[in-house]
Amino acid sequence: MSELAQAVADIIHDNPGTMPGQIADLLGVSEFEVVASLPDGMGTVWPREQLDSLMADLPEWGPMTTIVSVAGSIFEFKGGFPKGKPGHGYYNLVTKGEGLHGHLKLDAVAQVALVSKPFMGSDSHSIQMFDADGAIIFKIYLGRDKKRVLLADQVQRFAALKQQVVTAA
pLDDT digit of tens for each residue in the chain (169 aa)? 799 999 999 999 999 889 999 999 999 999 999 999 998 889 999 999 998 899 999 999 999 999 988 877 889 999 988 888 888 888 888 777 777 778 888 889 999 999 998 877 788 999 999 999 999 999 999 999 999 899 999 999 999 999 887 666 5
Q: Is residue 169 part of a domain?
A: no
Task: Give the count of domains, the chain.
Answer: 1
Q: What local confidence, expressed as pLDDT, does residue 166 receive? A: 66
State the pTM of this model.
0.91
Question: CA–CA separation, 90 vs 102, rounded Å?
Answer: 9
Helices (H), 28-82: 31-36, 51-57
Q: Is residue 151 part of a domain?
A: yes
Q: Is residue 44 part of a domain?
A: yes
Q: Is residue 99 part of a domain?
A: yes
Asked whether the CA dihedral 23, 24, 28, 34 is positive or negative, the reply is positive
Q: What local confidence, expressed as pLDDT, does residue 120 receive? A: 74
User: For the domain that residue 65 is a member of, what is the CATH number?
Assistant: 3.40.1570.10
Q: Is residue 167 part of a domain?
A: no
Under 8 Å between Cβ of 47 and 165: yes
Q: What local confidence, expressed as pLDDT, does residue 168 receive? A: 61
Q: What local confidence, expressed as pLDDT, does residue 104 receive? A: 84
Question: CA–CA separation, 130 vs 138, rounded Å?
Answer: 7
Q: Is residue 53 part of a domain?
A: yes
Q: Is residue 126 part of a domain?
A: yes
Q: Is residue 165 part of a domain?
A: no
Full domain range(s) for residue 73: 3-158
Q: What local confidence, expressed as pLDDT, does residue 135 receive? A: 94
CA atoms within 13 A on the CB side of 64: 26
